[in-house]
Chains A and B, each alone.
Chain A
Amino acid sequence: MKGTKRKEHNLPLYIMALPGILIIAIFSYLPMPGIILAFKDYDFSNGVFGSRWVGLENFKFFFESGVAWRLIRNTVGLNLLFMVTVQICAVFTALLLNEIYEYRIAKVYQSILFFPHVISWVIVGYFTYAFLETDTGLINNILFHFGIEKIAWYSEPKYWPAILNFISLWKGLGYFTIIYLAGMITIDQEYYEAIRVDGGNKWHEMRYVTLPFIKPLIYINVLLALGRVFYGNFDFFVNVVRNTGQILSTTDIIDTYVVRTLTVLGDFNMAAAAGLFQGVCGFIVLLISNWIIRRFDSESALF
């Protein structure tokens, strides 16, 4: 395409790009100067720029309040736990489904496993409650049936990392299984035949053909998850945990803390400091993970 150099030629393109540019400008870029609030004592009447400068005071409060460490541990720790569980289970599930992919039932299974992905977190919170409520919950009913004493799930923090991990797996398994399965389907059958000619069995096929082929996909998914390790899923935690005080020690993450501090306590300063801390940590981790992705598969890097 050799372009004529008339200037008005590009005008329609500018017009087409404009609505998108504006939306991104307003909702993604305009808030950015607001990060200085983390260094200020925000006062409605004075506005963002007129409020009193307090330096690192807000951060000092945030880190001295004792919750900071807990929030970082929960956010990062749970994210890592979720990632490892979901990726291992999804690879395993995809390997199994790949073996039966010639049957229609494999596609049915794939769809059923994926279905939880489209369910809203509110609904997830609803059935979590239906399962775990102390007196009416399904799990306790079953425990009771077998003569095991009921457990007050919503006041026992120690169970929650496992519960949350299970829910995250329930919701994410199908999604990642589809990604891995899509990668496996493209593998040339010749490789498998070569293994069979050499007298290899199914295990050898998985070990020496399938897994090596989807390895890049696994790396990418792991690194993408690592890049977001400082960001929790607000909707997930707020609906499943429901701000239940007794279990916050293992379930409170930066995202829920910030929104709670802002909307319930109205403490803009602390929330802004915690939010900026998260943004900066998230940024650094993302840059590192992207740098690693780039090194072995530049196609999959974010930039």
Chain B
Amino acid sequence: MAKNNRLMKIIIIIVFIPICLISVIPLWTIFVASFTQDKAIADYGYQLWFKAFSLEAYEYLFVNPDLIVDAYLISIIVTSIGTVLGVFFMSMLAYTMAHRKFKLAKGLGFYVLIPMLFSSGVVPYYILVTQYLHLKNTIWILIFPYLINPFSIMILRSNFRRLPQSLFEAAELDGAGEFQRFFKIALPLSIPTMATIALFSAITYWNDMYQALLFIDKQNLYPLPYLLYRMIFEHNIIQEAAQYTGIITPYQSVRMAVAVLSLIPELFLFMFAQRFFIRGITLGALKGE
């Protein structure tokens, strides 16, 4: 029996090797293509191994940094401002919603919930942003829409509810005001949850191209994912960056190189913050607790 069990476990371990390979091979293909001669991609197609190894795509980006520097900066600014502000705003709101003495707490619960139930669609939103808020072609439209996430608020609220009330009562007796109790007690005790929320926020911002697709048509305001998206259809985006250099533009491999460069921060985030990801998913799944 015990021997059988061990055999089964070994089989499971082996079965997962190809499954995990399928998870990473697609990204590996992009990585390989970014280090391949552009001409080789056209001649031999995409490969799983370096057939005509070349740094030309990266050299090209190094010589023509304009192509990605702006987009990289926009993505970094949007992601950092959005994540910091968002986590701050959401924590404050969730704190009041978890507060026992706050009369609005229950009403706020519904207020946050209703937008999750009904979406008025893209057209009213599009007209609001362009005709009334005048946020088209501004960096703010990339930041504002994702500041508040209802699911994150629910997670934060149950986090604040779980904090020991006695600490707050003691602080109140010591004369600490509401702000002090929030900043000095609630926040420090909620760092793991806030880190989790921040991580999900950061990924949302870093990956999003929807707002840019709707509202940004100035290339210097493109975030990275949208630049990548435009590069699919418009070769001249890559070419314009090269107009002074006169070399032949390696379209395919440059695109893949930009894709790889956009993945690097995400890869680091993922490696260092995995446990927060897993925490976040389980918190979300067991939101009622």
Contact surface of A with B, Cβ cutoff 8 Å: 1, 3, 9-10, 12-14, 16-17, 19-21, 23-24, 26-35, 37-38, 42, 44, 47-48, 93, 96-97, 99-100, 103, 105, 109-116, 118-127, 129-131, 133, 135-138, 140-141, 170, 174-175, 178-179, 182-183, 202, 217, 220-221, 231, 234-235, 238-239, 242, 258-259, 262-263, 268, 271-272, 274-276, 278-279, 282-283, 286-287, 299-300, 302-303
Q: How far is the CA of A261 from the CA of B247 in the complex (A)?
A: 39
What residue of chain B has the Cβ atom nearest to residue A124's Cβ? B26
Query: Given A96-B12, A179-B281, are A126 and B259 also a contact pair (CB < 8 Å)?
Result: yes
* A34 and B45 contacting across the interface, CB-CB below 8 Å: no
Q: In the complex, what's the smallest C-beta–C-beta distance from B195 to chain A, in angstroms?
A: 15
Q: Which of B116, B145, B177 contacts A12 (CB 8 A)?
A: B177
Give the residues in chain B near A135, CB-CB below 8 Å: 45
22 A-B interface contacts by CB (under 8 A): A9-B101, A12-B177, A13-B104, A20-B92, A27-B145, A31-B128, A32-B118, A34-B124, A99-B9, A112-B24, A127-B27, A130-B26, A130-B46, A131-B29, A137-B46, A179-B285, A217-B285, A235-B210, A279-B118, A282-B119, A283-B117, A302-B116
19 additional A-B residue pairs with CB within 8 Å, beyond A24-B111, A135-B45, A136-B46: A12-B177, A12-B179, A14-B96, A16-B93, A17-B96, A20-B89, A23-B147, A97-B12, A120-B209, A122-B207, A122-B225, A127-B30, A138-B29, A170-B26, A217-B285, A272-B121, A279-B121, A286-B117, A300-B287
B52 close to chain A: CB less than 8 A: no
B35 close to chain A: CB less than 8 A: no
B185 close to chain A: CB less than 8 A: no
Total interface residues on B, using CB and 8 Å?
A: 104
**Stretch binding the partner chain, chosen from B56-64, B236-244, B262-270:** B262-270
* A37 and B127 contacting across the interface, CB-CB below 8 Å: yes
* A34 and B263 contacting across the interface, CB-CB below 8 Å: no
* A47 and B214 contacting across the interface, CB-CB below 8 Å: no
Query: Given A1-B101, A17-B108, A24-B148, are A29 and B115 also a contact pair (CB < 8 Å)?
Result: yes
* B144 and A23 contacting across the interface, CB-CB below 8 Å: yes
Query: Given A118-B266, A123-B263, are A113 and B122 also a contact pair (CB < 8 Å)?
Result: no
Per-position 1/0 for B199-231, Cβ under 8 A of A = 000010011111001100000000001101100
Give the residues in chain B near A275, CB-CB below 8 Å: 120-124
What residue of chain B has the Cβ atom nearest to residue A17's Cβ? B96
What residue of chain A has the Cβ atom nearest to residue B200's Cβ? A118
Q: How far is the CA of A37 from the CA of B263 in the complex (A)?
A: 40
Most buried by A among B115, B121, B128, B228: B121
* B288 and A116 contacting across the interface, CB-CB below 8 Å: no
Q: Which of B23, B287, B288 contacts A113 (CB 8 A)?
A: B23
What residue of chain B has the Cβ atom nearest to residue A109's Cβ? B16
Q: How far is the CA of A37 from the CA of B131 in the complex (A)?
A: 14
* A127 and B121 contacting across the interface, CB-CB below 8 Å: no
Give the residues in chain A near B281, CB-CB below 8 Å: 175, 178-179, 182
Q: How far is the CA of A38 from the CA of B100 in the complex (A)?
A: 42
What residue of chain B has the Cβ atom nearest to residue A301's Cβ? B288
Give the residues in chain B near A27, CB-CB below 8 Å: 125, 144-145, 148
Give the residues in chain B near A258, CB-CB below 8 Å: 121-123
* B45 and A137 contacting across the interface, CB-CB below 8 Å: yes
Most buried by B among A114, A130, A271: A130
Q: In the complex, what's the smallest C-beta–C-beta distance from B138 to chain A, in angstroms?
A: 14
Query: Given A10-B102, A19-B89, A123-B262, are A115 and B24 also a contact pair (CB < 8 Å)?
Result: yes
Q: In the complex, what's the smallest C-beta–C-beta distance from A7 to chain B, in angstroms?
A: 11
B55 close to chain A: CB less than 8 A: no
Give the residues in chain A near B45, CB-CB below 8 Å: 133, 135-138, 140-141
What residue of chain B has the Cβ atom nearest to residue A283's Cβ? B118
Q: How far is the CA of A137 from the CA of B252 in the complex (A)?
A: 12
B169 close to chain A: CB less than 8 A: yes
Most buried by B among A23, A112, A217, A263: A23
Query: Given A21-B111, A141-B45, are A123 and B259 also a contact pair (CB < 8 Å)?
Result: yes
Per-position 1/0 for B228-261, Cβ under 8 A of A = 1100100000000000000000000001100100
Q: How far is the CA of A9 from the CA of B226 in the complex (A)?
A: 47
* A34 and B9 contacting across the interface, CB-CB below 8 Å: no
Query: Given A100-B13, A179-B282, are A32 and B122 also a contact pair (CB < 8 Å)?
Result: no
* B288 and A300 contacting across the interface, CB-CB below 8 Å: yes
* B210 and A48 contacting across the interface, CB-CB below 8 Å: no
Most buried by B among A20, A170, A221, A276: A20
Q: How far is the CA of A121 from the CA of B225 in the complex (A)?
A: 9
What residue of chain A has the Cβ atom nearest to residue B285's Cβ? A179
What residue of chain A has the Cβ atom nearest to residue B85's Cβ? A19
What residue of chain A has the Cβ atom nearest to residue B263's Cβ? A123
B190 close to chain A: CB less than 8 A: no
